[in-house]
Chains A and B, each alone.
Chain A
Amino acid sequence: MEEYVGELWHKLVTRVADKQHADAAVSLNEISKTAAIYFRALGGDAGLNLSAAPPTRHGARRRWMQRLATSGERVELSWRDGETLRLPERIALFSERGLNRDLYLWLVALSAAKINDDLPWIIRNQTATLTTLERFPGLLPRYQQLVEAMLALRPAPADLPKEEAAQESAIRQALQQPGSIHVLPPSKKPFHPVPLWTHPTPPVSAPSKVSASDGAPERDESDNSNTAKSRRKHAAERTDMPDGKDGFLMLFRAESLFSWTEYIKVNRPQDEEDDLESAAQAAEDMDSMTVARDNETSAAKLRFDLDLPPAGEDDAPLDEGISLPEWDYKKQIMQPDYCRLQELVTQQAGHCELPTQLRRTAKRLRSQFQALAPTRTWLKGQQDGEEIDLDAWVRQEADLLSGTHPDNRGVYRAQVNQQRDLACLLLADLSLSTDAYASDHARVIDVIRDSLFLFSEALSATGDRFAMYGFSSLKRGNVRFNRLKSFDERYDSAARGRIAAIKPGYYTRMGAAIRHATTLLAAQPQRQRLLLLLTDGKPNDVDRYEGRYGIEDTRMALHEARQQGLRPFCVTIDSEANEYLPHLFGTGGFAVIKKPEDLPKELPLLYAQMTR
């Protein structure tokens, strides 16, 4: 009972205290796609993701009701780092929905402006505002509206103590006349947050300072323990909010002694749902959370549960491996001989026939695809064509002479020519995630297996040259490239056996696999070469190969493939693929299969469409 009343009381005061307008709220989900395109159109970095910003403590004066309700002490502000553009999850600041939406778009526009991140917060935001308004003069009336609505919500300087009042007046002036304030007057109490501007001290801050923790500098594994610790400490320090850089100092706050603003270990590369969830829950109450991305800790942890199989157990390496480079987007350099790729061939695979349940579909596909096989024929009796169809003409003349009504068939012959000069390499992602269930009765790997079967059936009917490989990886030293069928092998029962034997591997180091596939495919003499990638998710590996690093390396590998005259195309069953695939493959360069169980049927059809 006590609890119940307490809850009611909490709800009541929170509602009174929170000056938010729930009816007019605009959520990030509603406008995320628009916002992302808007951001890129306004000149923002196309490689950034969009995500909700976690609320952060602002430490400014609250109304007594808010204090009573312990609400209003955190605020969601936007900021941008090397990988993400963070926007508030929901904006309900104004009573008018249109204004809330405008505020979103304004924040996006502001983040798209290219401003030196090292400038002090107050100058940075004013400069960004000026730049944006100059480039997009149409935003001015809306900006003014926003400022006006915004100022009405801010505490009046007259009601504040002297120092805070000076600070508040400066912010007000900076909003109204951007560019006019050069220094923020110091005050003991932090200022009231400015939702119209970016975050003063983003939790994962400016690139210049973050390089140590976020950039995950390349380090040999030997020097790990000490540096990892010190870096971690550094990361924890970084999360402490105000760093005094902007002219105000907030050195001590009693609550923070007991608060949780410390390093919490959330080991992202691991697929342990429970851990993540509980950590996330604990993290929810914190101001900010740091995820260390140092190679050493995570790799060491993972060595437990994912050990390599003893050599020679199931896959026989075909040689000692191939060295491949990898792209580091932060340094903008190609790291030569960075990955080692092994071409493997499964040993346990026997010979095998096409599984019975696929036979009917396969038969239909074969007959459909035979129509794509090269033909060159003359069509007679055409209305238009290169040559005169003498037979038709004689018949027509004879009909005329004999007085019968001539049928108005054409008297020309036209040549129909379908030449296919085409090689296709299919690269299937065999990472651990394919072990997941795609539907009630099939795992992703089973769907991929069926797709490979039907794809091969269809392609062998067309006579196009094709090869099939699978890949997975376990850090850069061990990229596994399973040969299912090379260009020179026939599609026979042995190849089918190898397809039947595919099983989930480790992780997805896409860049290296694509680079090797490019080499193989580029060696083919055909003029059209298609590199078909079949996947279920983003590039990732247990080391730093994840997030933007992985994406950018993959993008670079694809760029190289295009330069070699290959055409990459991606077929995916990842429903979130629309967020990153356009960046990698371009708008027309990929297809998302909504229902994974449709993949076996869809894949050959996609191929037919693409090459018709």
Chain B
Amino acid sequence: MENLPFYQPHGSEIELFERAWRNRLPLLIKGPTGCGKTRFVAHMAAKLGLPLHTVACHDDLTAADLVGRHLIVDGQTEWSDGPLTRAVREGGICYLDEVVEARKDTTVVLHPLADDRRILPIDRTGEQLAAPPSFMLVVSYNPGYQNFLKGMKPSTRQRFISLAFDFPPAEQEEAILIGETSIDAMSAKRLVSIANAFRALRDHDLEEVASTRLLVYAATLMKDGCDPTIACRAALVETLTDDPETAVALREVIDATFGR
């Protein structure tokens, strides 16, 4: 248990994850980028002692990339398992990160796995894998920046129980920063206060707001001895905006917090 990745719970999500796993229910996690979705899954996999197969989904991801394909080796064809098939065989957790990025027809291969059948038919080899009880399917996506033509098919969505993540309340986020970087409490408090000021600009001046991950970056720089103002500019301001005037305003917020 020493190697458990750090995770600060902010609700009953750990309990819910365990229940879902025990009852063989697939799970969908949604939330803004950098709020701890991936970390949560890694934490749970370690806690439950399961192997974790992560797939970062992208535009060109095909069903074959998930399930597996024939490769040509020494003039012979050889079947090679994809990450999904491997997770099913091993009885581990298969985690599809940013699942909406994948094309919709790709995610349809998840359907028989994600309902009570829990099977993975592999057309190309004629195999039909039955998932062992310890197998769990977890997908995540960020509802914030959905491409207009993307989004999950309702038939896919309806196969999951869903957990909504958001940035944690101030005290918990401070605890996360302290837990991740062992930064002092005062600096953590100020970082979180900056982040919350930036979050007020969501959908208005900023397309994306400061994530917990970026705060951890800033805290890491500060812990390393970097000047707080410089650390925040590098980790927060310049990461969040390219617009010079917006950047000036964001820097003023940082100065207002850490002093100049």
Contacts and interface: CB of A to CB of B under 8 A. Distances in A.
Given A41-B250, A105-B252, A587-B207, 10 more contacts: A40-B204, A136-B193, A136-B256, A137-B190, A137-B259, A141-B260, A385-B64, A387-B69, A397-B75, A587-B206
A135 interface: yes
A427 interface: no
11 contacts: A37-B249, A41-B205, A46-B200, A138-B260, A140-B259, A142-B260, A388-B72, A417-B103, A422-B149, A587-B203, A587-B204
B105 interface: yes
Interface residues of B, number: 39
B171 interface: no
A411 B205 contact: no
Contact of A530 (B103, B148, B201, B246): B148
B205 A386 contact: no
A605 interface: no
B256 A109 contact: yes
B246 A37 contact: yes
Which are the 5 A-B pairs with shortest beta-carbon distances?
A: A37-B249, A138-B259, A386-B64, A136-B256, A586-B203
B252 to A, nearest CB: 5
A194 interface: no
B77 A41 contact: no
Contacts of A583: 204
Interface string B242-257: 0001101110111111
A340 B70 CA distance: 64
B253 A41 contact: yes
Interface of B: 62-64, 69-70, 72, 75, 77, 103, 105, 145, 148-149, 151, 190, 193, 197-198, 200-201, 203-207, 245-246, 248-250, 252-260
A141 B245 CA distance: 24
| Most-contacted residue by chain B among A136, A386, A567 (CB, 10 A) | A136
A406 interface: no
A410 to B, nearest CB: 11
A393 interface: yes
Contact of B249 (A33, A138, A528, A567): A33
A611 interface: yes
A138 B245 contact: no
A42 interface: yes
B200 A40 contact: yes
Contacts of A582: 203-205
B204 A46 contact: yes
Nearest to B186: A137
A40 B201 contact: yes
A386 B148 contact: no
Given A40-B200, A388-B70, A388-B77, A414 B205 contact: no
B260 A611 contact: no
A414 B62 contact: yes
A41 B207 contact: no
Given A141-B260, A417-B103, A34 B64 contact: no
Contacts of B256: 42, 105, 109, 136, 138-139
A587 B209 CA distance: 12
A336 interface: no
A38 B253 contact: yes
A254 interface: no
B69 A137 contact: no
Interface in A47-68: none
B201 A528 contact: no
A610 interface: yes
A528 B152 CA distance: 11
Contacts of A411: 72
Given A37-B246, A41-B250, A586-B203, A528 B257 contact: no
Contacts of B72: 388, 393, 411
Interface in A76-134: 105, 109
A43 interface: yes
Given A33-B245, A586-B204, A42 B253 contact: yes
A491 to B, nearest CB: 22
